[in-house]
Structure 1
């Protein structure tokens, strides 16, 4: 109890217990599910296409980073409706890093975010560029096209700012959360074939990334349905339309204090969560008990599976989910009953089809790539759980791409709360792999014995916070189980 309370206090400094992180979805009423079109009819316009997003160019200019001695040129502007920032050191090494930012809700105002490893990049001669994207929402298609377009426009932007530059000798893409989905999809064979703006990157660093693409929404739905079932108020229809009226009862049945102190039924939900998100592993139960970590998933109750209108039909699928309420893989009588009676949700088979022109609305991460990819994933992440890494690995193995994949587990409770040291080390590993062919070390994400080890994630976790890390991050890491 004391340890959990202290950890929540530390996290309050980072995100606020129960507050909204910039990369978490804002609470919103679910979009109404569109009716299926009649045979031969024109498909309905997606809700996402009816939204208007605005950009204030006054927010694009940016100054030099404090404490950086390297001199840089800094440019900003608007490209195809998306704002951008570009920074090029005077001693440019010829390499360009594209950064794809995370999910920003359906905020109508577009924002640009600097790459987290900006200090390292400019001090080591790398140029970087980042787009606002032309649309918010979980619009990975727009994010990938806008990022690629910015990469292709790099030399033109430089020339317009009176610094003619040669084309980059190397192109890398780094992304966080939804931006990690962008980064992973950017190097996929399907994206290279179907993107309107085609870019061949030399390597990708997806961080806290949805590398399971639409499977993420199946996880979120399965978790939500399990919570209702175990609270004794199971959902009978999807989308869930009566959640608001039974939310208080769900919390009373599952927690004495939400979400720090679960009841017996709440502990079953915690076991179900651990199973759904990658199996027993360090940090997972710590995160389950923390409000800043629980809220982003909790507020998704009632989602209709269209990803807030990015799609017209439900993409969430729980038909293949096996719910487990303890650490024993054999199904108990209670688990058998739950699996036999809980509401199952099936995705519409044509919810996210391959399109005749351009990327799918939710680009696929099929595990078909032939350049180095290094991923970072937090062991306690509820929002984009560790199980996405396992899905990605299995797909890569099935497609013969696993030789190009290195995955690293980080002992952290939240979503994208890595230290700069962890990010820099992963980026260095990616570049060195690309330049020398020496594959860096990583973690086994598929072996249950390895993942469940008390020291799992220790190899690449760097707890000490630096000058560019949030002040409370070091305190948060100190309160988590340590490595022996």
Structure 2
């Protein structure tokens, strides 16, 4: 069945729904079929198919959903969706059956939504999986574990470092905050029994950080905590981009991001721990002096410590002496098996990141590159970077440029035009009304990488 024969007026769709109990279908003014339905898992799905379908279907995986509201999404944003439909792409995506760290639901639900699309509209000539933020992790899981269902994939601002690495890297800054700014506190950082406990921990440490921000020593220590998460010094589009040596302005920008990390991080950790059956992160064996030496903002930390007349060496020694947090092996195994990656790609993947992302730092791309290189799949991966602050702050033009770049790779059989000039040219051609900011960039190392190609990087600290 072709997409043209599936297009219906709203009236005809309503009549068909009444007599056949099929998923709801409507036709927009642009003559696009819009279908909504429910999967056996309970997840909802949505599809949009233009009358002049170009034969490509885009399977979109949405980002992390924390609350009860969990609508299906089939595009990253409304403006991009309009452009995609105008260019003839079919769109599909599900809600996932549950919210939170829902990869075990998300992957099968996305594949089921894709099957529902095929049943409804026929086989696509090309299928591309893509997703943003947590949806980038879901997309990468589909790419590694179900390559037979897709032709290629795009991860936008994704958690492509995998689950174990993510939770280890979010443990380090809060460990530093508690050790250096609240050394007598008994506030738990892991093993949170419920959301109330998570909220209490976040509130307690936020109050500590707010108090510390009032002194030079406190600000230096907040910067050190930020450095252990590679929080950039420009991380929101509303912030002024600080000068290279304006250490105070840089720290103020990081301070806001640290508070945001505390507010979101503990509640999400508690939900993930509940799924994993325990704490899936550790800092046993971690040398915090070595981590700081690899951080993208280590220079700023040193300068702020000097200005505060505070010993950075002493604080790093205090971190290294402090009692450590061990992981629950079964929880690590669950997170490893569900949410970590081998790097073994069978189909091309393009991964795109903004350089000023505090929530999912751009260094996640280094972790992905490490895994893919170790697996011998580097020819299938390309990475691109957008010069903007914030998490997933891509323009519609930049997102379409990524899509068209992957399409060129799928058609030609080799990567072409992955340099910033070519990407910006494609972006401008796709949508001249929105920004095009691809740049040459090489991220510093991800500080706590963990992937299935490096099994020695385990909770024993080796």
Same fold (TM over 0.5): yes
Answering whether residue 294 of structure 2 is matched by residue 327 of structure 1, we say: no
In the TM superposition, residue 269 of structure 1 has moved relative to its aligned partner by 2.9
Structure 2 equivalent of residue 353 of structure 1: 333
Stretches of structure 1 lacking an aligned partner (at least 5 in a row):
1-56, 159-164, 193-197, 257-261, 444-456, 478-484
Structure 1 residue aligned with 2:172, among 222, 242, 260?
Answer: 222
Structure 2 equivalent of residue 186 of structure 1: 142
Answering whether residue 101 of structure 2 is matched by residue 138 of structure 1, we say: yes
In the TM superposition, residue 182 of structure 1 has moved relative to its aligned partner by 0.5
Deviations 1:366-413 (A, max 9, x none): 211121111111222222122221111111111011111111222222
Structure 1 residue aligned with 2:260, among 296, 309, 330?
Answer: 296
Structure 2 residue aligned with 1:386, among 362, 383, 391?
Answer: 362
Structure 2 residue aligned with 1:251, among 209, 223, 233?
Answer: 209
Structure 2 equivalent of residue 41 of structure 1: none
Distance 1:302 1:150 in 2: 29
Conserved 8 A contact 2:417-2:423: no
Within-5 A mapping of 1:107-118: 107-116=67-76, 117-118=80-81
Structure 2 equivalent of residue 128 of structure 1: 91
Per the alignment, do residues 339 and 228 of structure 1 end up closer, same or farther by CA in structure 2, a change over 3 Å counting?
A: closer
My pick for the range that moved more, 424-433 or 406-415, is 406-415
Structure 2 equivalent of residue 174 of structure 1: 130
Answering whether residue 64 of structure 2 is matched by residue 93 of structure 1, we say: no
Distance 2:267 2:72 in 1: 30
Per the alignment, do residues 71 and 306 of structure 1 end up closer, same or farther by CA in structure 2, a change over 3 Å counting?
A: closer
My pick for the range that moved more, 70-79 or 315-324, is 315-324
Conserved 8 A contact 1:274-1:280: no
Structure 1 residue aligned with 2:229, among 261, 276, 282?
Answer: 276
CA RMSD of aligned residues (A): 3.9
Bigger helix fraction: 2
Distance 2:345 2:31 in 1: 36
Conserved 8 A contact 2:131-2:139: yes
Conserved 8 A contact 2:24-2:37: yes
Distance 2:184 2:83 in 1: 50
Distance 2:317 2:421 in 1: 38
Answering whether residue 279 of structure 2 is matched by residue 314 of structure 1, we say: yes
| Number of residue pairs matched by the alignment | 374
Distance 1:281 1:459 in 2: 26
Per the alignment, do residues 84 and 225 of structure 1 end up closer, same or farther by CA in structure 2, a change over 3 Å counting?
A: same
Deviations 1:68-115 (A, max 9, x none): xx532221111221111111121212111100111110x233312240
Conserved 8 A contact 2:230-2:363: yes
Within-5 A mapping of 1:335-484: 336-353=316-333, 360=337, 362-440=338-416
Conserved 8 A contact 1:176-1:209: yes
Deviations 1:96-144 (A, max 9, x none): 1100111110x23331224033223222221110111111111012111
Conserved 8 A contact 1:278-1:390: no
Distance 1:372 1:109 in 2: 33
Conserved 8 A contact 1:60-1:85: no
Secondary structure, in 3 states, of the residue corresponding to 2:288?
coil
Distance 1:234 1:322 in 2: 22
Secondary structure, in 3 states, of the residue corresponding to 2:350?
strand
Secondary structure, in 3 states, of the residue corresponding to 2:333?
coil
Q: TM-score scaled by structure 2?
A: 0.69
Distance 1:382 1:436 in 2: 36
Distance 1:218 1:288 in 2: 25
Conserved 8 A contact 2:343-2:375: yes
Per the alignment, do residues 248 and 180 of structure 1 end up closer, same or farther by CA in structure 2, a change over 3 Å counting?
A: closer
Distance 1:281 1:397 in 2: 30
Deviations 1:181-212 (A, max 9, x none): 10011111xx23xxxxx852111111111111
Per the alignment, do residues 305 and 84 of structure 1 end up closer, same or farther by CA in structure 2, a change over 3 Å counting?
A: closer
Distance 1:319 1:458 in 2: 44
Conserved 8 A contact 1:280-1:327: no
In the TM superposition, residue 440 of structure 1 has moved relative to its aligned partner by 4.2
In the TM superposition, residue 318 of structure 1 has moved relative to its aligned partner by 2.4
Greater RCO (Cα-Cα under 8 Å, separation 6 or more): 1
Answering whether residue 114 of structure 2 is matched by residue 148 of structure 1, we say: no
Deviations 1:203-222 (A, max 9, x none): 11111111112211111111
Structure 1 equivalent of residue 217 of structure 2: 264
Distance 1:98 1:293 in 2: 31
Q: TM-score scaled by structure 1?
A: 0.66
